[in-house]
Structure 1
Amino acid sequence: MLVYPHIDPVALQLGPLKIHWYGLMYLVGFALAWGLGRLRAEAKGFGKEEPGDMLFYIALGVILGGRIGYVLFYKFQSFLADPLMLLRVWEGGMSFHGGLLGVILAMAWYARRTDRHFFTVADFVAPLVPPALLAGRLGNFINGELWGRPTELPWGMVFPHVDSLPRHPSMLYEGFLEGIVLFALLWWFSARPRPRMAVSGLFLLLYGCFRFAVEQVREPDAHLGFIFGGWLSMGMLLSLPMILVGASFLIMAYRKRQHA
């Protein structure tokens, strides 16, 4: 049995200024996406400096969409009681699904600005996302949030700030699947020419499946609980459309190539 090693969420304090690990993990994620984007830019028909240009819009989409999505999907009643909570990003609380919507809008803006097809941009960006997701999940672990349900498995972890039960370290499961496995598969898949929309479709399909799987052992948010049948969580509900849309994109991508 493991015990959660309490980590001070503040990495550095300079007078009244506090720099949180959670925020630093986002910077690490953006830096990884930028570096990987520069590595593959020319091979995918993008200029060497374009990943930096994209990052500005995508960062806005991640932060604004992630925070707004979290509030709307998970904390709407709390937001009504305390609207300023929307601004306190350093306390944690970002929704991947909200961030994804923000990134989609950012990619659509960039595609229009550079006169490219939306899926040309989306297929380029998709393999750059998983390392940033891994950094975000490490931020969740440092904050001691998104823990799992009780387990008797040997790697069960006690989170003393929750209770004395060993639980699934579900944020680490998500970091491994969404960050490492998803990156390896997408990087390999996108290394060879694929029909437009296929890489984006595979990203949506795999992320949705991985997230749905981990939700089986993740403790649902206390203020929401299960939203249907004693088993369906909000994370599962939001992942189902990703699975369906991702599978549809893959089918359409390869059908279009066959017709061409």
Structure 2
Amino acid sequence: MDALAPGILFAQAIGRLGNWFNGELFGRPTDLPWALYVPVGLRPTSYATVQTFHPTFLYELIWCSAIAIALILWGKKLAAGQVFSAYVGLYSIGRLFIETIRIDQANTIAGLRVNVWISAIVATLALVNYLRLGRSSAKI
């Protein structure tokens, strides 16, 4: 699984380009220099007068690529299984933040998107596993 992690991340990054081509999965309105112009027909009705939005798919593309590069550069120094745990944990942390700026419809629990909760839980479990694998490897 460790060897697959960077490839999976690059595949996820490339897949996010589809969101750009489809004009979907953008975030809250913004006037930042890298804001994404969204044509009127693709904007949610409640944002019809807003022209530019956070390009959340781009944030995820960059995040996935950065994690993949980091795992390629430093993964050989990790114990077996830690690379995949790092992938799952770091990806989940990125999703946690990206989900907070998305505006598409989503189910919520206690006022937060379900994906935020899932990302937090998965990131925590991945961290626990990462640390467990590191300790197991140190004892050998």
Which bin holds the TM-score, normalised by the shorter protein?
0.7 to 0.9
Selected match of 1:216 from 83, 90, 100: 100
Selected match of 2:24 from 145, 149, 153: 145
Structure 1 residue runs of 4+, over 6 Å off?
none
Aligned to 1:55: none
For the pair 1:200 / 2:84, whether they are aligned, the reply is yes
Aligned to 1:184: 69
Alignment coverage as a number of residue pairs: 133
In the alignment, residue 126 of structure 1 is paired with which amino acid?
A: A
Aligned to 2:138: 258
Computing the radius of gyration over CA atoms, which structure comes out larger, 1 or 2?
Answer: 1
For the pair 1:172 / 2:55, whether they are aligned, the reply is no
8 A Cα contact 2:5 2:68, kept in partner: no
For the pair 1:132 / 2:17, whether they are aligned, the reply is no
- What are the ranges of 5 or more consecutive residues in structure 2 without an aligned counterpart? none
Greater RCO, 1 or 2 (C-alpha within 8 Å, sep 6+): 2
8 A Cα contact 2:36 2:55, kept in partner: yes
Q: Distance in 2 between matches of 1:208 and 1:137?
A: 16
State the secondary structure of the residue aligned to 1:172. Answer: helix
Selected match of 1:159 from 21, 34, 38: 38
8 A Cα contact 2:92 2:119, kept in partner: yes
Q: CA deviation at 1:193?
A: 4.4
For the pair 1:228 / 2:123, whether they are aligned, the reply is no
State the secondary structure of the residue aligned to 1:123. Answer: coil
Q: Distance in 2 between matches of 1:229 and 1:150?
A: 24
